[in-house]
């Protein structure tokens, strides 16, 4: 090897780099200098050497690099979507509430422990029957009121902003 290059010893291996950037290492088993080529089973290069302008030590991108932030953003977005799916009720609850309210028309309801009425109908001949649903009205702003002689009742339904109003009358006990 010529004297116009750079010599180094790294991990017990002798290295030589000429002015053109060609790197060689001394193979003691073959007693000869072997030209280093990336990926050919050669020993690791000495630190801080460069081959053809490419650093021999691969640097990792910094924490704020887009390659590290993109997975972080994806994970945060996935967690946010999961939380929203758990917290927000499904969008079709208003239709389900309207259908359930319409199904109560003409049926009787029993009182429950919370001074309200159960949303499950009971037989009107039952001793538990307290009121009969005579009309169902939407409760949006400007909607009509229950007719005289009836009382408006809203039965709870999760995720619905404007519940339907069930207009009820007391059930007269028979006998």
Q: In what order do the strands lie in the sheet with 6-10?
A: 6-10, 13-17, 23-27, 32-35
At residue 51, the pLDDT reads 53
Q: Give the DSSP per-residue string, 61-123.
A: PPTTSHHHHHHHHHHHHHHHHHHHHHHSPPTTHHHHHHHHHHHTTT-EEEE-TTSSEEEEEE-
Q: Which pLDDT score, from 0 to 100, does residue 77 have?
A: 96
Q: Which of 11-15, 38-42, 119-123 has the highest mean pLDDT?
A: 119-123
Mean pLDDT over residues 39-65, rounded? 61
Separation of alpha carbons 168 and 147, rounded Å: 10
Which pLDDT belongs to residue 55? 45
What pLDDT is recorded for position 56? Answer: 47
4: pLDDT strictly greater than 60: yes
pLDDT at 90: 65
Say if residue 82's pLDDT is above 90.
yes
Task: Write the CB contacts of 8 (distance below 8 Å, at least 6 apart in sequence).
Answer: 14, 15, 17, 46, 49
Return the DSSP state at 137. E
Burial class (CB in 10 A: 0-12, 13-18, 19+), 9: exposed
The two structure tokens encoding residue 151: 């009382």
pLDDT of residue 57: 47
Half-sphere exposure of 56 (CA within 13 A, CB side): 18
What pLDDT sits at residue 67?
76
Contact 165, 155 (CB under 8 A): no
Q: How many Cα atoms occupy the beta-carbon half-sphere of 124 within 13 Å?
A: 15
Residues 132-159: what's their mean pLDDT? 86
What average pLDDT does this structure show over 46-62? 56
In which residue are the tokens 């490419």 written? Answer: 54
């Amino acid at each position: 090897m010529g004297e116009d290059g750079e010599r180094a010893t790294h991990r017990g291996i002798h290295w030589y780099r000429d002015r053109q950037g060609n790197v060689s290492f001394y193979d003691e088993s073959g007693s000869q200098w072997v030209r280093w080529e990336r990926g050919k089973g050669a020993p690791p290069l000495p630190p801080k050497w460069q081959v053809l302008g490419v650093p021999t030590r691969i640097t990792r991108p910094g924490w704020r690099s887009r390659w590290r932030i993109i997975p972080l953003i994806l994970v945060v977005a996935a967690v946010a979507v999961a939380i929203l799916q758990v917290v927000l009720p499904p969008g079709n609850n208003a239709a389900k509430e309207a259908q359930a309210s319409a199904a109560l028309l003409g049926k009787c309801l029993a009182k429950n422990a919370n001074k309200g009425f159960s949303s499950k109908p009971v037989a009107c001949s039952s001793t538990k029957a307290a009121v009969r649903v005579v009309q169902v009205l939407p409760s949006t702003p400007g909607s009509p009121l229950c007719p005289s002689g009836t009382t408006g009742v809203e039965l709870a339904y999760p995720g619905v902003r404007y519940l339907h109003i069930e207009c009820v009358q007391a059930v007269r006990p028979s006998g």
